[in-house]
Structure 1
Amino acid sequence: MTTMTHDAPVATPPRAATGIIVALLSAVSFALSGALASPMLDAGWSAGAVVLVRIGSAAIIVLPFGLAALRGRWDLLRRNLPLVLVYGLLAVAGAQFCYFSAVQHLEVGPALLIEYTAPAAVVLWMWARHGQRPGRLTIAGAAVAGLGLLFVLDVFAGFGLHAGGVAWALAAMVGAATYFVISADDSTGLPPLTLAAGGLVVGGVALAVLGLVGVLPMRAERAAVTYADVEVAWWVPLLLLGLVTAALSYVAGIAAARMLGSRLASFVALSEVVAGVLWAWLLLGELPGLLQLVGGLLVLAGVVGVKLGEKTAVGVQQIPA
């Protein structure tokens, strides 16, 4: 028997283990961006300039590999051009632009909390679009992970909500959910490297256009920045932002979503918030509190619950091989 769904086949244990490892690699890589960017912003860089360099340099790095992965199948790229455009505009440029717009009105904690409701949005989308009704374990795991996220982001200290900021954060959530849904779709035939390259190129161009028209402020500085009491040249974090937090993270994220499916991959990605707290501790000396550590454990427990729930999800059809 072969297990089939509209999202992705329920992974075999070895494939699932590999997928989770790759998803964690993507999450840890993504999470490094905040700790790397923070001292640069303090040094005078604008958020728009940091994001543009990050996405643009990643596009340059991944593009040759994405073209090579096509193996001359240009018709495959032409057929999926609308999908690549949506991926680049919503999942790459849109999510980045909307998040940085949100933090102009909200504190980072609540902005992240709203954006990271994306896994719940993915579950609802797969249910409404493909009839993949989540099981009890999936719902319970989502609830536990959500509670852990509240602790990790330390939102119980209290914060005020700005209507415009909430709207931008919700838009960022849509971009994040789009990332997981499109990344998990292997029916297009597009290699992960090609999808990542196309999305990064489209996203980089879109961010550049926003900068040229003045919507996204662009300001750069060449002053040295400091991490963990070590001073480094300004170009070092830029190189890491492009190579590790964008090129590696997007490619690994797409590959993981292909192995795990959009629902499970999106919940494993919640570990990005936990990793972000740890990176801030290591590089910026921002020590996480006890509640944040407890929250990290709850997020991991929730991911385990979602994984177990995937095995019994309603809507999975058994089709003879």
Structure 2
Amino acid sequence: MNSPLPFKRHIAIPILLGLGTGFATNHVSARIAFDHGAGLLTAILFRSGTSLVCLTLLLLWQRHSLRFERKLWPWQLTLGLLVALQSFCIFSAVARIPVGIALLVANTFPILLALLNWAVSGKRPTKASAIIMGMILFGLIWVLDAPMWFQNSEQLTSTWFLGLLFAFGAATCFAFILWISENRLANLYGPVRSFYTIGIVFFSMLGLSFTGALEGGTAVPVDATGWLALIAVGFFYSCAFIGLFVLTPRLNLSQNAPALNIEPVASLILAWILLEQSLNGRQLFGSALVVTGIIALALVHRSKRS
């Protein structure tokens, strides 16, 4: 069977920008749902459940086998549990701090992935990569408005600090997720890997909900706005997540993947429009440095693979 022809770049780039915006919309919608009474586990269960149904229908339509080598099961289980933890962390961050800041911190995962690859394979980041990573970290200092902490220590509340920890936890989880996907499960058919991953997320979160360990975790929205936001969480995440895996063979990600970094930019714009979460000039300057650095890092890695 011949591989599908890749889209031309002027088609692939808008598709990737749309997918990245879909992920951003999912997170902004989650914050709205939280503000209107939805629990953390409710949001994760809703979006993973919606994605699981959609992936099931897709695989039934493709008539693709769900079987794979038994030796891959430990890695697949680990991947699913890491995605569940990453979902928990990013939603916990979004619920506590501005969405744009949470996603900017979470999108520092390329730095952690480079360090992980160095630790595992011994391949040190190039000088160019190290400089770019330094620029990203410098930008984060301004995104987080760290200089203001020294002028007004009351700004660094426990809620803010916990939100930042969760965002960094999401970045750490995603770095490990990418490493496992690229180094241990690369030969597993994308939709099948996604099906089991989302299934593990859904059932692990469902099991957690029965323990009652997270107070208010399964609360439902208190009004129509909350329900619409919750539906949007499931819809935009499913469309972006499944669309990315279905279209990956035609998107030429080795060349076009940096376009996905529209997510933190889109989240800043959407949070400003829908949530009235605005950043000051210093934070916008830092945001520009972080996004530019992330894209530059992706381009450097792309050139190394070419």
Contact 1:35 1:280 in 2 (8 A): yes
CA distance in 1 between partners of 2:182 and 2:16 (Å): 12
Aligned 8 A contact 1:59 1:201 in 2: yes
Pairing 1:160–2:152 present:
no
1:58 aligned to 2:51?
yes
Q: Does 1:303 align with 2:301?
A: no
Q: 1:218 Cα deviation (Å)?
A: 0.9
One-letter amino acid of the structure 2 residue matched with residue 238 of structure 1 = L
CA distance, structure 2, for counterparts of residue 191 and residue 135 of structure 1: 31
- Structure 2: segments with no counterpart, 5+ residues: 1-6, 150-154
In structure 2, how many angstroms separate the alpha carbons of the residues matched to 1:59 and 1:240? 16
What secondary structure is seen at the aligned counterpart in 1 of 2:290? helix
**How far does residue 222 in structure 1 lie from its aligned partner after superposition?**
4.8
Q: Is it true that 1:218 corresponds to 2:232 in the alignment?
A: no
Q: Given the superposition, is the C-alpha separation of residues 145 and 254 from structure 1 closer, same or farther in structure 2, using an over 3 Å criterion? A: farther
When residues 53 and 155 of structure 1 are mapped into structure 2, their CA distance, relative to the original with a 3 A threshold, is farther
Cross-structure match for 2:273: 282
Structure 1 residues 77 and 224: CA distance shift in structure 2, 3 A: farther
AA partner of residue 23 (structure 2)? F
User: Which of 136, 140, 144 matches 1:145?
Assistant: 136
Q: In 2, distance between residues paired with 1:35 and 1:103?
A: 8
The answer to whether the Cα contact below 8 Å between 1:114 and 1:169 also exists between their aligned partners in 2 is: yes
TM-score of the superposed pair, with normalisation by structure 1:
0.72
Whole-Å separation in 2 of the counterparts to 1:168 and 1:289: 23
Q: Which amino acid aligns with 1:224?
A: A
Aligned mate of 1:71, from 60, 64, 68: 64
- Distance in 1 between residues matched to 2:246 and 2:172, nearest whole Å: 17
Partner residue of 1:202 out of 182, 200, 203: 200
CA contact (8 A) 1:154 1:291 kept: yes
Greater displacement, 107-116 / 234-243: 107-116
Once the 2 structures are TM-superposed, how far is the Cα of residue 187 of structure 1 from its aligned partner? 6.0
Correspondence 1:294 to 2:292: no
What residue in structure 2 maps to residue 192 of structure 1? Answer: 190
Supply the RMSD in Å over aligned alpha carbons.
3.8
Query: TM-score normalized by structure 2?
Result: 0.75
What's the offset of the Cα at 1:214? 0.9
Is 1:86 matched up with 2:78?
yes
Deviation at 1:152, TM superposition (A): 4.1
Task: Find 2:235's aligned residue among 243, 251, 260.
Answer: 243
Q: How many angstroms does 1:19 deviate by?
A: 7.5
SS at match of 2:67: helix
Percent sequence identity is 24
| CA gap 1:164/1:198 in 2 versus in 1, 3 angstroms | same
Tell me how far apart the structure 2 counterparts of residues 68 and 185 of structure 1 sit (CA, whole Å): 29
8 Å Cα contact 1:150/1:295 also seen in 2: yes
Answer whether contact 1:138 1:309 (CA < 8 A) is retained: yes
Task: Write the distance in 1 (CA, Å) between the matches of 2:266 and 2:280.
Answer: 14
Partner Cα distance (1:285, 1:96) in 2: 24
CA distance in 1, matches of 2:287, 2:88: 27
Residue 16 to residue 202, structure 1, CA distance change in 2 (3 Å): farther
- The alpha-carbon deviation at position 55 of structure 1 amounts to 1.7
CA 31–202 in structure 1, closer or farther in 2 if over 3 Å, else same: same
Q: 1:244 to 1:165 in 2, by over 3 A?
A: closer
Please report how far the alpha carbon of residue 147 of structure 1 lies from its aligned counterpart in structure 2 after TM superposition: 3.2
Q: Equivalences for 1:110-149 in 2 at 5 Å?
A: 115-149=106-140
Contact 1:76 1:189 in 2 (8 A): no
Work out whether residues 151 and 291 of structure 1, in 8 Å CA contact, stay in contact via their aligned partners in 2.
yes
Q: Residues 97 and 244 from structure 1, CA distance in 2 versus in 1: closer, same or farther, beyond 3 angstroms?
A: same
Look up the equivalent residue of 2:43 and give its one-letter code: V
Provide the C-alpha distance between the structure 1 equivalents of 2:145 and 2:292, rounded to a whole number of angstroms: 18
Deviation at 1:292, TM superposition (A): 3.9
Q: State how far apart, in whole Å, the 2-side matches of 1:83 and 1:208 are.
A: 21
* C-alpha distance in structure 2 between counterparts of 1:199 and 1:82, whole Å: 12
**Corresponding residue for residue 175 of structure 2:** 177
Structure 1 residues 192-201 or 286-295, which shifts more?
286-295
Shift of 1:53: 1.0
* Cα 1:305/1:111, change in 2 over 3 Å: closer
SS at match of 1:80: helix
Please report how far the alpha carbon of residue 251 of structure 1 lies from its aligned counterpart in structure 2 after TM superposition.
Answer: 5.0
SS of aligned partner of 2:156: coil
Cα 1:97–1:245 shift into 2, 3 Å: same
| Corresponding residue SS for 1:215 | coil
How many residue pairs are counted as aligned between the two chains?
Answer: 289
